[in-house]
Amino acid sequence: MNSHHPNIAMGPQHLTGQPPVVRFHHSKILALFRALDSALIVLLLWAALHFVGVEWTNLHTAFAISAVITFGFFAETNEVYYLWRGHSMLKLSLQLFLAWFATSIFLIFAALLVYSVNEPGFLGISLWLVATPVATITMHVGRRLLLAKLRAKPSEPRRVAIVGANELGLRVINSMGNMPWLGYKIMGFYDDRSPDNDVGRRLVGQNIDVKGGLDQLYADAHDGKLDIVFITLPMRAELRMHSVINRLADTTVSPYLIPDVFNFDLLHSRLTCLQGIPALSIYDSPLVDNGWAKRLEDLVLGSLMLLGLSIPMLIIAAGVKLTSKGPVFFKQTRYGLGGDPIKVWKFRSMSVCEDGPNVAQATRSDPRVTPFGNFLRRTSLDELPQLFNVISGSMSLVGPRPHAVAHNEYYRGQIKGYMLRHKVKPGITGLAQVNGFRGETETLDKMSGRIAYDLEYIRHWSVLLDLKILWQTIFKGFVGQQAY
């Protein structure tokens, strides 16, 4: 007698009526160290005050609470407690230091409000500010070294296989090699595609250890030789991936699917989750999460620059007025954040003030440029009024240089991804400018080179990168053969 048994375990139906969700992995160890960091901050403050002979008061309780909250905020911003980030030890140490450095700026100003610099209390706070990053970095590095040692035992490592001997699979293996504390042991690649038929998809050489095809994978998984399988096949191989996952359901290994999203030209991509639905942004802006840091940087540094350059700007303004007829300032319409039009300020360097649908780029020995304007353009001093744009919020100190609207409309149809440069505010200087792409872009190749640097800046934006570009601008960005 035959009976029908529905496959409720592997079928699309769910007994609870709830759709499947994807959960983010959270490390219990990192959650513990988040709490230990807070405790260490308070303990070190008590120890520093005890060392200089100062009793604990409610004021110091306020200092401790403020430090814990502020450090927690900056540590979260720097993704210190995110296991998936896979920071190297050096990068992790730098992230911890930067988080505490930002906290210290706030705390040192608070300490100066209640102590004079020669008081024991201020000395205790200073010792605390110096000792804390040393202690936290030591604790986190020690955690990684201990985990790497414990997980390096023969019985402990999780045996990992990679399905897909391709660039993505090789990148996965290299990432694991940089994170020994994860306790992974690489068993090799499994791929039944012939390298002779499709060398673009199947790698050869480069220490590619292919153990066999997919049948060998199933056999090794069934025999208990593997614990984890990472599937890095191309996204177009959907049916093959389904087949691999279904066959592995007859084993106890844990398969992980790694979609090859790197085939897209990712721009500051972010992974997020909508009620258990994973979503990956392709063209995102770094300002989505860090706009406040960028704005604070612009306000603080921009105000200091405007204050320090006020007298030179007054002298330049007088020079423009005395050497040619017309206004001191020239305002031209450019595209700003999101492609919205803004008015960009400059010292007038030409005998004309063109701002319309047809604007010609300045060329070498351009007859429109005044003699004094020629000096301003060669030294980039004509750009200084854009500090007003920075303070008002329409521009940043660092970012892609704004182009005239007429140029934007032309090049957006010529260069792929051109408009993506408007994912951030335009800047007075930028990565392209300190790498030689400034001034006239008379060929499509030159403009393409500038856009490539602009997109690279957005892709890897950080406050540290901004500071590096500002420093390089002092030596590379003001003068050059392309400045005219």
Residue 6 lies in a domain: no
Burial class (CB in 10 A: 0-12, 13-18, 19+), 456: middle
Same domain flag for 252 and 306: no
pLDDT of the chain along its 484 residues, tens only?
444 444 444 455 556 666 776 666 666 777 888 899 999 999 999 999 999 999 999 999 999 999 999 999 988 887 787 765 566 778 888 889 999 998 999 899 888 888 888 888 899 999 999 999 999 999 988 888 887 777 666 566 789 999 998 888 988 988 888 777 777 888 999 998 776 555 446 666 666 778 889 999 999 999 999 999 999 998 888 899 999 999 999 999 999 999 888 888 888 888 777 777 788 888 888 888 788 889 999 999 999 999 999 999 999 999 988 888 888 898 888 999 998 999 999 998 876 555 555 555 555 556 677 888 888 888 888 889 999 999 999 999 999 999 888 888 889 889 999 999 999 999 999 999 999 887 666 788 889 999 999 999 999 998 889 999 999 998 875 555 555 4
Which CATH number fits the domain that encloses residue 168? Answer: 3.40.50.720
- Other beta carbons within 10 angstroms of residue 315's beta carbon come to 8
Alpha-carbon distance values, 155 to 53, 150, 357, 443 (Å): 51, 10, 71, 62
Residue 275 lies in a domain: no
3-class secondary-structure state, position 424? coil
Q: Which two tokens stand for residue 29?
A: 């160890």
Residue 353 lies in a domain: yes
Residue 326 lies in a domain: yes
Same domain flag for 308 and 399: yes
Q: Which domain holds residue 164?
A: 158-263
Q: What is the pLDDT of residue 118?
A: 82
Same domain flag for 337 and 439: yes
Among candidate residues 347, 306, 335, 352, the one with its CA nearest the CA of residue 418: 335
Same domain flag for 34 and 174: no
Residue 412 lies in a domain: yes
Alpha-carbon distance values, 295 to 76, 235, 300, 384, 459 (Å): 19, 39, 9, 18, 18
Q: What is the pLDDT of residue 439?
A: 67
Residue 220 lies in a domain: yes
Same domain flag for 411 and 375: yes
Q: Which two tokens stand for residue 288?
A: 């989505």
Half-sphere exposure of residue 437: CA atoms within 13 angstroms, side-chain side: 19
Virtual CA dihedral for 282, 283, 289, 295, nearest 10 degrees?
160
Domain finish residue from 118, 150, 182? 150
Same domain flag for 309 and 246: no
Residue that is written with structure tokens 């020669």 in the block: 118
Residue 442 lies in a domain: yes
Same domain flag for 180 and 132: no
Q: What is the pLDDT of residue 196?
A: 54
Among candidate residues 35, 40, 59, 33, the one with its CA nearest the CA of residue 128: 40
Same domain flag for 214 and 304: no
- Other beta carbons within 10 angstroms of residue 247's beta carbon come to 16
Number of compact structural domains in the chain: 3
Backbone φ and ψ for 349, nearest 5 degrees, come out as -120, 0
What is the distance between the alpha carbons of residues 484 and 471, in angstroms, rounded to a whole number?
22
Q: What is the pLDDT of residue 419?
A: 93
Alpha helices, H only, 13-119:
28-51, 58-77, 89-114
- The answer to whether 248 touches 254, Cβ cutoff 8 Å, is no
What is the distance between the alpha carbons of residues 303 and 338, in angstroms, rounded to a whole number?
25
Same domain flag for 319 and 453: yes
Domain finish residue from 150, 177, 206? 150
Residue 373 lies in a domain: yes
Same domain flag for 224 and 310: no
Same domain flag for 137 and 231: no
Quote the pTM value. 0.74
What is the distance between the alpha carbons of residues 297 and 384, in angstroms, rounded to a whole number?
17
Same domain flag for 93 and 146: yes
